[in-house]
Amino acid sequence: MHYQPPPDAGLTVIFADDALLVIDKPAGLLSVPGRGANKQDCLLHRAQRQFPDALAVHRLDMSTSGLLLLARGAAMHSALSRLFRERLIDKRYIAEVEGCPAADSGKITLPLIVDWPNRPRQKVDFALGKPSLTRFRTLARDAAQQQSRLELEPVTGRSHQLRVHLAALGHPIIGDELYGNGSLDSGERLRLHAAALRFVHPLTGEVLRFDSEAPF
């Protein structure tokens, strides 16, 4: 993978307190450092220049934009990790996909596992795959362009879950170079955006709601 992160124009901080951060990640930027010296520029390292105690709690794919939650300090990292582990954080994504799903809403339950010879690709595997659940809602259909806009809720958090599930459904996300018809050379971004986060603040008990409009 030839990694060309977007220029560092500063963080888009949606929320910050002494316990946690919510930052809007641009498409094309790694959430955390990858392997090799050329993959060290990432959202986490950019955040740590301003917030040295920032720690990654979850990740977004490099090609995905949107809301990323970071902990401040080890104790909050443990608390937020527990919320993710117990599925107490509500995440919603917006995607534009190829084709027009017939259903207005539904769920995809295909089990997923890493496609080991073709890493980082994942695949559906009914024998060895881990249980996976994605709920979807069709927001709009464009029959002329043969594409649709969906709201997605990943109940489980498997690697590339939304991308693999939608491709398996016959509606790959537009711009997906791994599971659809996208190409890294085309300049077209993956049309997947982490648009909403909902959770209870581990310290204050306040219900937090964050939204980010999809840039496509």
Q: Which domains are seen in the chain, by residue range? A: 13-211 (3.30.2350.10)
- pLDDT recorded at residue 188: 86
* Catalytic residue (choose from 61, 90, 104, 142): 61
DSSP category for residue 173: B
Q: pLDDT-based confidence at 164, cuts 50/70/90?
A: very high
Per-residue confidence (pLDDT) for residue 105, from 0 to 100: 98
Per-residue pLDDT band at 185 (split at 50, 70, 90): low
Average pLDDT over residues 198-213: 98
**Mean pLDDT taken over the chain:** 96
Buried b (16+ CB within 10 A) or exposed e, 128-158: ebeebbbebebeebeeeeebbbbbbbbeeeb
Which parts of the chain fold into alpha helices (H)? 43-50, 74-85, 161-168
Q: What mean pLDDT is predicted for residues 56-77?
A: 98
- 12, 24 Cβ separation under 8 angstroms: yes
Residue 75: φ, ψ to 5°: -65, -45
Is 209 exposed, middle or buried, given 0-12, 13-18 or 19+ CB atoms closer than 10 A? Answer: exposed
Is 115 a residue of the active site?
no
Tokens 């809602």 belong to 137
pLDDT given for residue 187 in this prediction? 72
Pairwise CA distance, residues 171 & 111, whole Å: 17
In angstroms, the Cα distances linking 13 to 10, 66, 197 are 9, 11, 14
Are the CB atoms for 53 and 85 separated by under 8 Å? Answer: no
Pairs from 112-116 (Cβ < 8 Å, separation ≥ 24): 112/158, 112/159, 112/160, 112/161, 112/164, 112/165, 114/159
Mean pLDDT, to the nearest integer, of 152-166? Answer: 97
Distances (CA, A) of 123 to 98, 120, 190: 19, 10, 19
Reported as a single tens digit per residue, the pLDDT across 24-50 is: 999 999 999 999 999 999 999 999 999
Question: Structure pTM?
Answer: 0.95
